Structure 1
């Protein structure tokens, strides 16, 4: 496998991601929270940005598109929302494309936003999930419904358990506090929280997580249905 993922902090709690194919030199930024930091990370590695893949329109995910497009003339892919700046290619759930010989599936995951999408690379056993799911959490329902988020999480949980999920924010410790308040007797949750606390104490990212961990520890997945997810999401919004 010639793919490498570079993960680095951006803004206050975002992560930036660069996906690089060593054989071809192709490099994709998954979302663009901070154009200057993304360019800095590319330069430090000797990589040239060739693509941008947006998961949704929020400024902390697409705000760097214009500057990076201007600098690298890279190809910008994103969901069908007018607020995606400098987009060259519109993607919808069920679409797929090739990245340096690697197959990429596009999965529609509404809930956080109506047209939120994720990028799944089956051969690499990884997915870039934006703000649909976090380690021990899920995105706020700014545009969607609990039913939509439940269906979106169910799509993710149908992926192989070893699939690494690259979530876009470092929210895990705050998510852990809430998760323990609603499912504190869950041994899988307790193990995940202990691991997250140790990583953050050592300043190690808790991203990526995996489908297997979230299937058993994430309170919005273990909710079991859309109604309970909605109840827990409302509690979390005011936690």
Structure 2
């Protein structure tokens, strides 16, 4: 109930008037059934604007600490994440990735939409980084199609490290669904999962027009010289999924 109140009565109408989202390809999101929305990640505001423009509820997972803060700020964050359909997950242990995956699988098996950022973290400089294979595992284990999404200018609306937002028109591109059911039963095969992930990231690159860097964004954040612009590899050709033979 809180989700729909925020989206259609309180926060949603205000954001639509102020930021006037312009979306290309929204009809590519299936009207029913399980769907994985895989997006690049430029800003905290991605998790606000992307669900806002969808006709169906989108569920993300977030670390449990967002739901346990103290004081007014803690209450506001808890209310916001709960109201936007975000599910808390304990990400402190070694099974954190599996816990997040299992949570999203439950969402998909209920016939709903799961949102995921394959890069695993926000881009530090606006470029598109190597995707983690959790998105492929999620697709293989659920059988759900993957809809690639490009957030185009949310890093301009809310630059990294800034609390204040700039008033700009939000722009989002939604691609056609990618379907991987022909690889059913191959979850856990790291070569298949890497190839599928690369296909998804290539499509997001096409939709976004952003430069691609074949390095994990988290690695760049801990080692800033890991992928300097002068060393950035050229964007790969569209990687085909591996052929499966009997």
Question: Which structure has greater strand proportion?
Answer: 1
Structures share fold, TM-score greater than 0.5: no
TM-score bracket for the superposition, by shorter chain length: 0.3 to 0.5
Q: Which has the higher contact order (CA 8 A, sep 6+)?
A: 2
Question: Which structure has greater helix proportion?
Answer: 2
User: What is the TM-score when the length of structure 1 is the normalising length?
Assistant: 0.33
